[in-house]
Structures are given as C-alpha cells and as structure tokens.
Structure 1
Amino acid sequence: MWCIQQITPEYRKRMYRLLDLYKEGYDPLHPLVCMDEKSKQLLADNRKPIAARPGSLEKYDYEYKRKGTCNIFMAIVPKEGMRYTKVTDTRTKRDFAYFVLDLVDEHFSKSEYIQLVMDNLNTHFEGSLIETFGKQETERLMKKLRFIYTPKHASWLNMAEIEINIMDRQCTGTRIESKEKLAEDLEKWTKERNENKCTIEWKFTRQDADKKLSKHYVS
C-alpha cells in the first residue's frame, strides 16, 4: 500500500467491489475464494543441522545447496476457515488451469459458482483454461466461476496473501530440499489449519479506504 501514487476510477471500482464482498457472510452456494501462488526455492544443507536441546536453538550452517524451485498454489475461503494448497513443479498456464479444475470439480462441486479473487498475473485468465482444456470444457468451467481481480499493483487486497505469509512463518519458511518434503509438510499444515477452522477477519472497509487513500484519488 505504501507505493500507491495515483488511484484511478478503475482501481477504486475494483477495490470497492472487493471491500463490499469481504463484508458479506459465507455463502456455500457462491463461496468467496481468494487465490494466490508463490515460488519456493528448494535448498539442502551442506552439513547436518545440530538439533535443538534445552537452552539451545537448532543450528544451521549458512552454506547450502540449491535444489531448484517449485510453486505453491493457495486458495482460501476466509470466512469458512478452509484452505486448499497444491505444490507444482512450475507456475504455467497449465498449472493454473488444473488448480482451478480442482477447485471447481473437487473442492466446490456442490456450489453454483465460485467467486475467485486473484491478482493480474498473466496466467490468471480464461485463456489459460482454453489453451489447456479447449473451448467446450472451458465453457463448462466458466459457468462455475466468477473471476474477480484486484486492482493492478494492489495484491494487498487479496486475503490469500495473508494466508501465504502465515504459511511461510509456520511451515515453508525453513530450508526444504525436495518437492516431496514440501508437499508433505504443506499437507500436514493445511490439514491442521482446516481442522482448527482458522479464519481471516478483514477489517479494512470502504470507509477506511476513503479516509486513508482519498488524497491519491484521481478522476
């Protein structure tokens, strides 16, 4: 938010739409789902860490081996306290398309449609579905989807970012050397968060936005 210089009418329109949606209660027929993704660098220790013991923290060598990267998809239903995560080798249009397919057919199969909040990454568009599945399957999926985009350069309005920051602090912020280990750790973390129904309480309102950001509004 600190880098905002000008807020155009389009920015305000998208911001207001999100802030109004965040005030609504949970609707299982039309769930509000916030989605984002993050790259994770895989690192292996050159030397075996020294385990923690009473009065002494675990010790890591500062040297490490790079083992490549992978991608983490995050989708969270903030009012319901449910999240869905997936580890992929890459973050291509195809990866996005299959994650969306999982949301529609697996996680929200009983919903009329999903209100899917995303940023403006070049893979987060209907075209990715068309390239991956073809027009007929995409038409079926789009009947179950409503894409809702944050304003450009305003990913802070996506609650999935909050959950990703929590994920990094609690699970993925340490050195992890393989995709398999990352997926295993993430599955355990996701399951625990879901069992505890960890929700996100969004307090920033349209009135707060006008009060704090109106000096940046342009016509």
Structure 2
Amino acid sequence: MFYKRPFDPRNPVVCMDESPKQLIAETRIPISCSPGKPARYDYEYERNGMCNVFLACEPLTGKRMVKITERRTKRDWAYFLEEIEVQHKNADKITLVMDNLNTHIPGSLYETFPPPKAKALWDRFEFVYTPKHGSWLNMAEIELNVLTGQCLKRRMDNIELVKKEVLAWQNYRNNKNSKVNWQFTTDDARIKLSRLYPTIEN
C-alpha cells in the first residue's frame, strides 16, 4: 500500500477530499464561560449560506493544504488540482488519492484551462480512486474529520472567518508534522475488500 512506501519527493503521495461547511450566525450574544460553567449559546441561529472545504494532505510527510471556496464546481476543483501540482512542481508524477465525485474528471480541467494546459496538468497525476463505499481508505477524509473537530465544529458566519481559522489550523498541524497513524494493511484489504480482488477459477 502506498501509505507505507518510503517517501519519494519525485513521486509524492497526496490524498484529497472536500466537504461543505454551513455558515451560521448567532442571533443572540453567547454567554462566555465562567469558573464551573461552560459557555452558553442560544439554540436559535441564522443561516448565512455555505462554503466548500478542499483539503489535500501528504500522509508520508505530515503536511496538508486547505482551500476554502464559495462553491464546489468543476472549476473550483480544477484550480485546487493546479495548486497541488504547483506545490510539487519538482515531482515526476504525483499519486493522488480521491473519491469518484462527479467533478473529478478530465472534463473539469478542459472546461477551466486551454486544452494543452488541461492535458499537461492531468498527465502530472496518477489518480487512485477509492472504491464505492470505501472513502474511509482516503486519509484526507480523516484529516477533514480532524479539521472539523478541532476548528470547524462551531458557528462561523462568514467565509473570511472560516479562511482565517482554517489557515491557523493548517499552519499549526504542519508545524507539528502531524500524521495519521494508518494501521490498515494490504493483508487487511485482501480480507475486507475481497470482492475487489480478482479470483482464479479452475
């Protein structure tokens, strides 16, 4: 499994995932915490729309990159893919693990960039798609859960605040070289995902 192979800067392994984030405003000023009492928030709130969270992480180096966008479109994904490529401009090939979302296709690049650039960008990657109902095999999903638990699981009413808080979280995690302790092995995969492996009949 490529999560366990030695790090090679010429062929880095990058995991990518994305998730929506609802923007929520308070309708009443929260009551701050005090000794022996937690902070209190009113159950009523105001919806301020949505934003999208793109996350790419390198399981072998403990680095991640997060981008907040107003929407989740083909063009948004194409531009994020371009940013991943720029981060690894000296690599020969970038192994990218992601799910089979409908925007994760070559057409997204061709709708965003001129054909020569779209093809060149697509060719920079070796795409590894997680199987159906197997998104948990993507370490970026775990990183997104960490991001949600440590940063996003609270009310934020505008996209600029989300960007600011997420950038601080990203820098904190990167400075610590925080990694996921991945314990799912190839042998485990052959058992749990046996239906995906070919069989030989006599």
Q: What TM-score, normalized by structure 1, do the two folds share? A: 0.86
Shift of 1:55: 1.4
Q: Alpha carbon RMSD of aligned pairs, Å?
A: 1.6
Percent of aligned pairs with the same amino acid: 46
Q: Distance in 2 between matches of 1:136 and 1:202?
A: 38
Q: Distance in 1 between matches of 2:17 and 2:127?
A: 13
Q: Distance in 1 between matches of 2:124 and 2:192?
A: 36
* 8 Å Cα contact 1:117/1:158 also seen in 2: yes
Unaligned runs of 5+ in 2: none
Q: Distance in 2 between matches of 1:28 and 1:56?
A: 50
The structure with more helix, counted as a fraction of residues: 1
- Which residue in the other structure is 1:49 paired with? 30
* Correspondences of 1:196-207 after superposition (within 5 Å): 196-207=176-187
Partner of residue 95 from structure 1, selected from 73, 76, 80 = 76
Structure 2 SS opposite 1:167:
helix
Q: Distance in 2 between matches of 1:216 and 1:186?
A: 36
Shift of 1:213: 4.8
Partner of residue 124 from structure 1, selected from 73, 93, 104 = 104
Larger RCO (alpha carbons 8 Å, 6+ apart):
1
- Which residue in the other structure is 1:135 paired with? 115
- Which residue in the other structure is 2:128 paired with? 148
Between 1:180-189 and 1:205-214, the stretch displaced more is: 205-214
- Which residue in the other structure is 1:38 paired with? 19
Q: Distance in 2 between matches of 1:216 and 1:164?
A: 26
Unaligned runs of 5+ in 1: 1-19
- Which residue in the other structure is 1:3 paired with? none
- For residues 67-93 of structure 1, give each alpha carbon's deviation from its aligned partner in whole angstroms, at most 9, with x where no partner exists: 000000000001100000000000000
- For residues 89-123 of structure 1, give each alpha carbon's deviation from its aligned partner in whole angstroms, at most 9, with x where no partner exists: 00000000000111112x11222221111100000
- Letter of the structure 1 residue corresponding to residue 138 of structure 2: N
Shift of 1:211: 3.5
